[in-house]
Chains A and B, each alone.
Chain A
């Protein structure tokens, strides 16, 4: 077993997170939020706040030396709201003071005069012609639209014996990383700025900070502190917070610390996109799918963030791992005055897979087919062509394999026969099992350039310094990189000195997202090791076959051979035609299947999850124990998505800002879990490895909805499926049958 290299500092309390940095002369800054989700700001009166003892300064839009607006895709996100607020988490000002208490006291004394503007809280309303525009410079509130046109759906429906239409809805979900956003910024004597903080993508923070401060990118140094969870959520918001901290430190010439409270974090940070999915499918009576029409509308909230990419992935994956010869899909993200939405583990896939996998079971039921046999009849096969016109012949199409492995291990056939199917037991309770499966594009695909770099430097005392351009996102990246490096070099892992990402050292390696860390980082490390070995080989030959690594390193240094290498990896080509949605969207794919067993208490509607199992083809598990940890954690997060979690907006204002009202799954609710590792090594991956972090989080919602159906006989088409909803549905059915 390979242990995490960062575990020791985490169990002793020595690991330094952003909140643990204390510097002499440091000041503290707190955010002042929008008084209303959509309003015109008339005036900001800071007179009373400024005289609070200890206040150092109050910073607003007029203090931004560089560009006020930022964003990774579209620059529509105001670092400080100016003239208008667009959602309740917009920050109007930052108040900096000698102490946190003084900053908070002053914040309460800032007087903002405003006039509410007509607000939009539903994408449907926001899409209507004539709706007030949230961003006046845009044509309308549609943030992005992706079409797919493949075959002829009308012809497909004509061939079908049955045509079925269904709608599914999902909710706003909070990432709920245990560590709220935080950073410390320091203005350096040479005019540059250094920001240390908990961000997933130091290079995003660097770009945002440079843009806002007006500094050249190489005058902005971002150093990642130990990250207390991210799940896709520590990108835009923390990068904007870094930019604000940099602005304040450059003005005050004092170190600035910003640590959000949980409430501040939940209020400002982006959420998972709620989806409204409409499906129409045609199927023949022998169970062959003929056509699919999909309409996906996602709530982007006030700002674009990564919406175009989050919507593009489910567009590519809208069929699930099933062949539909004819497909028409239109996906939209729409601006509203709700909290903005962006990247969250899965990136659109938990939402679309909940819909796809519920729908597949509904289709099977409509033609009286077994849901598993129905799936098998329509699965992707080796060499098949998907609805984007991509031929799947460069990797192992393992959908049938993972499903078979999962079902066999779960005793599916035996348990499926025992499902209550709407008939409760003597105590009024129900029993059910359900499954869901998926395919998923690995890495960024056509959404961005795909590059990674790694630097290896071997010191004369034979220690190996390793720095990789992708960042530790708590998934164990450092451990995996160190292990690949050690094994390729033929040294013990203890020799590896891992350097955390420093934006002024390693090249920008694109964000650590899309479950790409292992694949892209591992390949870059292997490339760097190859170059080092090439330098060492002739020396090793000279000094004899049995010489140790230390001897070779020492000989190299005495011969002036620098053991230093920059390894790189460039993603294989991908393609996408925007108007038809055709192309080779990703260079390879992974496959997964998750199964769940549960009981429903008829009286209360309470669900007790008894067992969850995940089977995932990740190419190759470089660290099997950590891989299993990902599967367990991903399934539990998926269980929260399916059954419990929901950020509730009331007129654009979040009602559950802390864990007392936003409930995530606790240890007392976690069922028995099992993880199956399936390995079909991929030619593109290091040692054949592909991806895992997100696939494990994209299936449990659908599996739970299906299990609830086989338990209660009721189909739930909206997440989260809470006990109240189930109770109401069951009592409604009882009252009808009475």
Chain B
């Protein structure tokens, strides 16, 4: 199967019942994407698939199509918006333990791609599927809001 991962064309060969998360982490060694719960509740494994933030622990390789575009935390730097979000997270103090951070960044990326100027409540809803135990979310929401300016 041919996928476009972080802007690069990759041909992947693996069992169709493999989780996208494992394809990324084990086969491609893109370990920035994290596993927190394995059931789509915590959002730590969020990646952007064809423009949508998805839980990569819930997607099987067999559900993907040839030519699908996947963006992970490792690819963010190469996109202008991704770089901006990364900088905002650092500037706002939105990073503590960092385990939820890759997923948060990807959720923020998908949100801001679709809605350039989300309201505070839209940001809060946009990352409501991503759990964070350290920050109380405030600085994460502020970091995303900084990107709208």
Contacts and interface: CB of A to CB of B under 8 A. Distances in A.
A3 B90 contact: yes
Nearest to A262: B37
Contact of A12 (B35, B86, B132): B86
B133 interface: yes
Contact of A633 (B38, B130, B131, B134): B134
Nearest to A266: B37
B91 interface: yes
B41 A660 contact: yes
Nearest to B31: A20
Contacts of A22: 26, 29, 31
A17 B129 CA distance: 22
A179 B36 contact: yes
B58 to A, nearest CB: 12
B136 A229 contact: no
A11 B86 contact: yes
Contacts of B93: 1, 3-4, 625-626, 628-629
A226 interface: yes
A632 B139 contact: yes
Contact of A658 (B39, B95, B133): B39
Interface in B67-93: 72-74, 76-77, 86, 89-91, 93
A667 B124 contact: yes
Contacts of B140: 667
Contacts of B90: 3-4, 7-8, 11
A545 interface: no
B38 A178 contact: no
Contacts of B33: 13
Interface string A452-487: 000000000000000000000011100000000000
A486 B25 CA distance: 37
Interface string B120-140: 000111011111111111111
Chain A contact residues, majority secondary structure: loop
A407 B66 CA distance: 60
Contacts of B44: 178
B96 interface: yes
A176 B101 contact: no
B42 interface: yes
Contacts, number: 166
A261 B38 contact: yes
A474 B57 CA distance: 25
Contacts of A474: 96-98, 134
Contact of A476 (B29, B74, B76, B96): B96
A20 B74 CA distance: 14
A4 B95 contact: yes
Interface string A663-685: 01111101001000000000000
Nearest to B137: A667
B141 interface: yes
A632 B138 contact: yes
Contacts of B132: 178, 667
Interface in A707-725: none
Given A10-B98, A658-B41, A670 B138 contact: yes
B139 A12 contact: no
Nearest to B120: A672
A444 to B, nearest CB: 23
A226 B32 CA distance: 12
A222 B28 CA distance: 28
B125 A673 contact: no
B146 interface: no
B101 A10 contact: yes
Interface residue range, chain A: 35 or more
Contacts of B30: 13
A666 B37 CA distance: 15
A474 B134 CA distance: 8
A208 interface: no
A634 B133 CA distance: 9
Interface in A376-418: none
A228 B138 contact: no
Nearest to B22: A100
A97 to B, nearest CB: 15
Interface string A1-42: 101101111111111110110100000000000000000000
Contacts of B37: 262, 658-659
A498 interface: no
Given A14-B32, A659-B39, A229 B99 contact: yes
B34 to A, nearest CB: 7
Given A12-B86, A13-B31, A632 B136 contact: yes
A197 B67 CA distance: 37
Contacts of B86: 11-12
A340 interface: no
A8 B91 CA distance: 10
B74 A13 contact: yes
Contacts of A636: 136-137
A243 to B, nearest CB: 24
A11 B95 contact: yes
A11 B138 CA distance: 17
B105 interface: yes
Given A11-B105, A476-B96, A178 B34 contact: yes
B14 to A, nearest CB: 13
B61 interface: no
A633 B32 contact: no
Given A474-B134, A658-B41, A664-B131, A12 B76 contact: yes
Contacts of A11: 73, 76, 86, 89-90, 95, 98, 101, 105
A121 interface: no
A637 B69 CA distance: 37
B31 A226 contact: no
B74 A178 contact: no
B95 to A, nearest CB: 5
Interface string A31-64: 0000000000000000000000000000000000
Nearest to A474: B97
A7 B42 CA distance: 21
B100 to A, nearest CB: 5
A664 B82 CA distance: 28
A416 B146 CA distance: 34
B139 A629 contact: yes
A7 B91 CA distance: 9
Nearest to A174: B133
B66 to A, nearest CB: 26
A659 B135 contact: no
A7 B90 CA distance: 6
B133 A664 contact: yes
A7 B89 contact: yes
B146 to A, nearest CB: 13
A571 to B, nearest CB: 27
Contact of B97 (A177, A665, A666): A177
Interface of B: 25-26, 29-39, 41-42, 44, 72-74, 76-77, 86, 89-91, 93, 95-102, 105, 123-125, 127-141
Given A11-B95, A22-B29, A228-B34, 18 more contacts: A6-B95, A10-B95, A10-B98, A13-B31, A13-B102, A175-B133, A177-B97, A178-B131, A231-B133, A262-B39, A262-B42, A474-B97, A629-B135, A633-B134, A658-B38, A659-B39, A667-B137, A670-B124
Interface of A: 1, 3-4, 6-17, 19-20, 22, 175-180, 226-231, 261-262, 474-476, 625-626, 628-629, 632-637, 658-660, 664-668, 670, 673
29 contacts: A3-B91, A4-B95, A6-B95, A6-B98, A7-B89, A11-B86, A11-B89, A11-B90, A11-B98, A11-B105, A14-B32, A17-B99, A22-B26, A22-B31, A177-B97, A177-B99, A178-B36, A179-B34, A229-B97, A230-B97, A474-B134, A625-B93, A629-B135, A633-B136, A659-B39, A659-B41, A659-B42, A667-B140, A670-B136
Q: Which 7 pairs of residues, A with B, have the shortest CB-CB distance?
A: A13-B32, A10-B98, A228-B99, A636-B136, A474-B97, A13-B73, A632-B136
